Every structure is written in C-alpha cells, then in structure tokens.
Amino acid sequence: MKVVVTGGAGMLGRKLGLELLEQGSLTAADGAASEIERVVLFDAVPQPAPLPDDPRLESVTGDIGDAGQVAALIDGSVDSVFHFAAVVSAGAEADFDLGYRVNLDGTRHVLEACRAGGHRPRLVFTSSIAVYGGEDVIDDRTPLTPQTSYGAQKAAGELLLNDYTRKGYLDGRALRLPTIVVRPGKPNLAASTFASSIIRDPLSGQTAICPVKAESHMPILSPRRIVAAFLHAHEMDGDALGHNRAVLLGGISPSVGEMVDALGRVAGGTVAARVDWQPDAMIQRIVDGWPQGIEAARAATLGFDHDATMDEVIQAFIDDELGGRIAA
C-alpha cells in the first residue's frame, strides 16, 4: 500500500513516516494488514536531515495550498494519508491569509483529493487543543471556542473531516494534540517553546530560560506517544468513533516546577540547575490562558495511551533523541 504524510519534513510527520517503514504494514481499507510499498513525505520545505536509504521512501516538495498539486500527490493509488501540514499557531496569527490558505484550504484540498479517488482512503488529521479556549480543564464535552485563527481552522477542519466521512468519501480520524514536550531541535516562536527548552537544553549542557512561574500547569504529550497515537488512530475501526471522528488525546499536566523536579530526578541536580527562572509577564499571561488539565475519558476507552509521568517523558527524549547520552 501507499501512504502519504503531509508536513513530512516536520518533526511529527518525519518521525511518523520513518516509523511506518520500521513497522512495514498498515491496515488497508478492506480491514486487512497490508505491506507498505511506498511512503511519500510531502512538505513545503526540504527534509531537515538526510533520510535513510530506503527504496520505499520518497520526499516531495510542494504547496498544500495548491489544489492541483495536492490532487496529483493524493491520487487513486494512495491508501492512507496522515495530514500534519500546517502553519502553527503563532504563524497563523501573524499571517492571517497564509493560515487560512494552508490550514483550511490545504485541508480541503486533502479532503477533496481523497474523495476524488472514489476508494475511501483512511485519513488521519492533526487537530489541537487550540480548538478549545478559556477553559481550565477540558474534557470530551467541552465546547469548541477557539481563540486563535489556528484553533478556528483546526475546528473547521474537524467539521469537514466528519462530513466527508459521513458521506462515505473517506474514512477520517482526527486527534486533538496537547503541547508537545520534549520537542527536539531549536526553539521556535511559539509561546510554548520554553516547555521543551527547559528539558532539552539543560540535557545538552546549555542554560534554558523559564519565563513562567513554577506553579504554571499545562497538558503535555511526548512525540513518542503522539506517533503511537497516530498509528493507533489509523489502525482502529473507524466505526468505534461514531459520528465524531475527533478524539481529544489525554496527557499528564505537570506544573513547570514538577517538570524541572523530574529533570533533576532523571538527569541529576547539575542538569536541573541549568534552568534559569526569568519571569516574562506576557508569556505568563498566555500560559495562564491555556487549559490546566485534560480529562480524556473517550481516548482512554478507545485505547489511546499517554505518558504516565514527566520522568517517562524525559527518559523517552534521552533515548530517542540523545542516544541515551546526557551532558551531566
């Protein structure tokens, strides 16, 4: 079978694509396990690092906002699509038109391309807890009241995914992701970037600034668990999801102080001491507006796992990204 991963040069898309090659098979539309013959990583930008030498792997650069390119990418030969391509939250706030072009039009192009084949491919769509807004604790019944363009675009994407699924044009599933911790690589412009920096940078010997109070909470999920959740979402029986194909993923919600305490337990006090607490009122205000916790009963019932402890989140990062080595 042939699988397309949009946003395939991004952190999650690339990891998922490589995991698919590792795994070697997926459930096809007919419900049977099928060998993966091709994985196409599609993105607006080139891969950030060389890809493994695997004849099943293909990297394509293109524009998700261009309907023709997406139709050519996702033709009738594609069995499954993982749709990660997006302009992130801060980006969609800064460039309103670009956000709608990529996050809404791009998603419609993917939906239309899936529909055009007439063969009901599986589509796993990346949503976000940005679809909520202003709630302290979110659960499966929390109304969607996004407070960002990104959140509005993701919520609209879910509506369309459900509608195309209901009509039988494709077999959609969507996952609402919490903050991803620990992100490898460099900090980005997101207000949440510090939540990864305060773990990642001390582990490689660098000082990291924490701009919020130790009591600040946020729901998090590790890249390892997110990749597993996307595979699980793809493999499960779509009918188990009922009318609403969007699943709020669970996650622990440690305070920032608890995150740094866990860093000390896993990597030692010297590493944890590299966190430099420098309050930033603007970032504090943004973080105070985020949900402080998730009660994701539905995800648990559907068999989605999450990290059990912050220690586990940190250890997964050390194993997956640092080859087990810490700059102690």
As annotated, the active-site residues are 150
Q: Which is nearer to a copy of itself, 149 or 196 (CB)?
A: 149
Does the protein bind a copy of itself through residue 138 (CB under 8 A)? no
Q: Which tokens go with 96?
A: 């309103």
CB of 145 to a copy of itself, least distance (A): 5
**Does 147 participate in binding a copy of itself (rule CB under 8 A)?**
yes
Contact predicate 208/276, CB 8 Å: yes
Return the bridge partners of 134, or none: none
Determine, following the binding rule CB under 8 A, whether residue 143 of this chain makes contact with a copy of itself: yes
- Confirm or reject binding of residue 160 to a copy of itself (CB under 8 A): yes
Q: Which is nearer to a copy of itself, 21 or 98 (CB)?
A: 98
Residue 167 near a copy of itself by CB under 8 A:
yes
Site string (234-273) toward a copy of itself, x via CB under 8 A: ---------xx-----------------------------
Stretch that binds a copy of itself, among 29-37, 78-86, 143-151, 196-204 (CB under 8 A): 143-151
Residue 133 in contact with a copy of itself, rule: CB under 8 A: yes
> Is residue 156 involved in binding a copy of itself (CB under 8 A)?
yes
For residues 269 and 196, give the distance between their C-alpha atoms in angstroms, rounded to a whole number.
18
Q: List Cα–Cα distances, 99 to 88, 95, 174, in angstroms.
A: 8, 6, 19
| Residue selected from 48, 166, 240, 276 as contacting a copy of itself according to rule CB under 8 A | 166
Q: How far apart are the first and last CA of the chain?
A: 45
Residues in contact with 153: Cβ distance below 8 Å, sequence separation at least 6, in sequence order: 92, 99, 100, 103, 104, 107
Furthest-apart CA atoms within the chain: distance in Å:
58
**SS3 state at 157:** helix
Nearer to a copy of itself by Cβ, of 7 and 133: the residue is 133
- Residue 53: CB atoms within 10 A of its CB come to 6
Residue 184 has phi, psi (to 5 degrees) of -75, 170
Sites for a copy of itself among residues 10-49 (CB under 8 A): none
Peptide bond into 110 cis (omega under 30): no
**Beta carbon nearer to a copy of itself, 146 or 178:** 146
Window 66-105: residues binding a copy of itself (CB under 8 A): 96
Q: Closest separation between CB of residue 182 and a copy of itself, Å? A: 31
Residue 281's Cβ-count burial label (10 Å; 0-12, 13-18, 19+) is: exposed
Interface residue with a copy of itself among 152, 181, 198, 227 (CB under 8 A) is: 152
Structure tokens belonging to residue 19: 């995991």
CA neighbours closer than 13 Å in the CB half-sphere of residue 47? 18
Minimum gap (Å) between residue 104 Cβ and a copy of itself = 8
- Residue numbers at the binding site for a copy of itself (CB under 8 A): 96, 133-134, 141-147, 149, 152, 155-156, 159-160, 162-163, 166-167, 243-244
